Structure 1
Amino acid sequence: MINLNGTLINNLDANLTFENRAFKYGDALFETLKITDSKIHFLEDHYFRLMASMRMLRMEIPLNFTMEFFEEEILKTVKANNLTDSRVRCTVYRVDGGLYNPASNKIEYLVEAKELILNLKNDYTIELFKDYYVYSGILSTVKTTNKIINVLAAIFAEENELDNCVLLNEKRNIVEVLNGTIFLVFGNTIKTPAISQGCIKGIIRKKIIEIILNNTTYTLEETEISPFELQKADEVFITNAIIGIQPVNFYKKMVYKTAVSNEIKNMLDKLI
């Protein structure tokens, strides 16, 4: 079952027209949320990021689209699929009509819930994706459905038997990985690409930054990161809303440690 504008319907009965703006122009946003024991992880952060993104894209936010409404629609969808632990995607898109200039700024939404499957690995391998680059403008920080670079990077990863790829911006600096953010550990210093580099304003990224800033053991740097620093780092880990933290084990000839990654993962688990 899916939730289309508040109505629960069978997946096969969903009716999105050929005028759908998410399909025609990528005129849509989405949030991926993790639910365990029927509780949404970091609900408030996801909600306010979605609201900020909708305002940035000049979408009209309905008066009833409160955080309570957002939570209710998600949990209604999870329950309809007989799930307690699930991966939920909420997509918000402008209503049909118009060419580049939309006929209306009103929105519709679609909520999907699937079984939560975690695939954490102990031999995680990454590589640079250099075929195309992420532009380091502010729109790249918004989670829109325009993800063609991520799609191509995922195909590249599969063709080369990799677990993930590191995306670069037009300045050839590290931005993120194809499905999350990235952190590099150098002793007691932990670096992550600054938002100005074009990375998504990740929810788990935000939480890990808070954890590091509140821990006197480590120093955080949000900065430009050259790909060459991957070969100097002691550890590398990636993050997203579903996996939390995934330590990276291999990059080219590098074999990374995982002690700090696992320590921060434990801190994140306690926060959750």
Structure 2
Amino acid sequence: MINLDGKLVKKENAKLSVSNRGFAYGDSVFETIRVISGKIMFWEDHYFRLMASMRIMRMEIPSSFSPEFLEDEIKDIIEANDLSTSPARIKFAVYRRQGGYYTPATREIGYVISAEKMENSFYLFNDEPYEIELFKDHYVTSGLLSTIKSNNRAVNVLGSIYASENGYDNCLLLNEKKSVVEALNGNLFLVKGTTIKTPPISDGVLNGIIRKQLINILKKTEEYTLEETSISPFELQKADELFITNVAKGIQPVSKYRKKEYAHKVSKELLSKLNVKGRLG
């Protein structure tokens, strides 16, 4: 079942017009949300990021879009797909209603919520080989538009094709200043000694939910010092560890970049703390 503008319909009957602005112009934003046995993980962060994304895109936010209303919409789609006792992945997409060309005819929105089952209730540590490379054919532009999850993901698509064609598990993206911004599907953290670095939002970094959770965790630990600072490609091979974060996997440690191989002690520690935070929060 799919939630299409507040109505539950069978997946095969959930259709959007070819004039839909999300398709025609990428005029759409979305959230990927993890739900465990009916509990929406980190819901407050997802809600406020969605509202911020809609404001940045100059969409008209309906008065009904309260946290409680959208939470109920998500729970309804979970129940409709018999996922109330399972881990599930939700995609909540908001698009501007059709009409106009580059200049929209309206700022009103529609939305689609879909759900699919996931395998594990908690994040599992993956220490399988995971090799990355830089993707340098195209750059992420620093600025607010790069911080939101929109349908404009051409750089990520092309980078993913490059990784697939060259046998890499992931690639890192650069901004126009040649600073490392993030991975194709998540935020980047670099560990050197007791210092952990992650690029700042001002570099064009996606305002990631797990990124925010880890920053909060690290601020409360005495073992490590967190720095939100630009990362040069030259720093990557000097690091002790690299890891990537996103809502679907939690933390993915990097095992190799070019000739450098990495440990995964810190990422394993932090994944345990993240699972605890998820259970309590």
**TM bracket, shorter-chain basis:** over 0.9
Q: Please say if 1:197 is aligned against 2:203.
A: yes
1:10-35: CA deviation from partner (whole Å, max 9, x where unpaired): 11112211210001110010000011
- SS of 1:65's equivalent in the other structure is coil
What TM-score do you get using the length of structure 2 for normalisation?
A: 0.94
Q: Please say if 1:158 is aligned against 2:164.
A: yes
The more displaced of 181-190 and 260-269 is 260-269
Q: Give the Cα separation in 2 of the matches to 1:134 and 1:14.
A: 33
* Aligned counterparts, 1:96-175, within 5 A: 96-117=98-119, 120-175=126-181
Which letter does structure 2 place at the counterpart of 1:153?
A: G
**Counterpart contact for 2:253–2:264, Cα < 8 Å:** yes
- What 5-or-longer segments of structure 2 have no aligned partner? none
Q: Please say if 1:223 is aligned against 2:229.
A: yes
Q: Could you tell me which residue of structure 1 aligns to residue 274 of structure 2?
A: 268
Q: Could you tell me which residue of structure 1 aligns to residue 35 of structure 2?
A: 35
Which letter does structure 1 place at the counterpart of 2:19?
A: E
1:132-152: CA deviation from partner (whole Å, max 9, x where unpaired): 111112211111110011011
- SS of 1:96's equivalent in the other structure is coil
Alpha-carbon distance, 1:55 to partner: 1.3
Which letter does structure 1 place at the counterpart of 2:197?
A: K
Which letter does structure 1 place at the counterpart of 2:204?
A: G
Cα-Cα RMSD: 1.2
Q: Could you tell me which residue of structure 2 aligns to residue 57 of structure 1?
A: 57
- SS of 2:82's equivalent in the other structure is coil
Q: Could you tell me which residue of structure 2 aligns to residue 89 of structure 1?
A: 91
Q: Give the Cα separation in 1 of the matches to 2:80 and 2:181.
A: 37
- What 5-or-longer segments of structure 1 have no aligned partner? none
Alpha-carbon distance, 1:122 to partner: 1.6
Q: Give the Cα separation in 1 of the matches to 2:74 and 2:161.
A: 30
Q: Please say if 1:177 is aligned against 2:183.
A: yes
Which letter does structure 2 place at the counterpart of 1:184?
A: L
1:148-198: CA deviation from partner (whole Å, max 9, x where unpaired): 110111111111121111011111110100010000000000000111110
- SS of 1:45's equivalent in the other structure is helix
Q: Could you tell me which residue of structure 1 aligns to residue 238 of structure 2?
A: 232
Alpha-carbon distance, 1:258 to partner: 0.7
Alpha-carbon distance, 1:117 to partner: 4.2
Pick from 240, 245, 253 the counterpart of residue 251 of structure 2. 245
Q: Please say if 1:23 is aligned against 2:29.
A: no
Q: Could you tell me which residue of structure 1 aligns to residue 212 of structure 2?
A: 206
What TM-score do you get using the length of structure 1 for normalisation?
A: 0.97
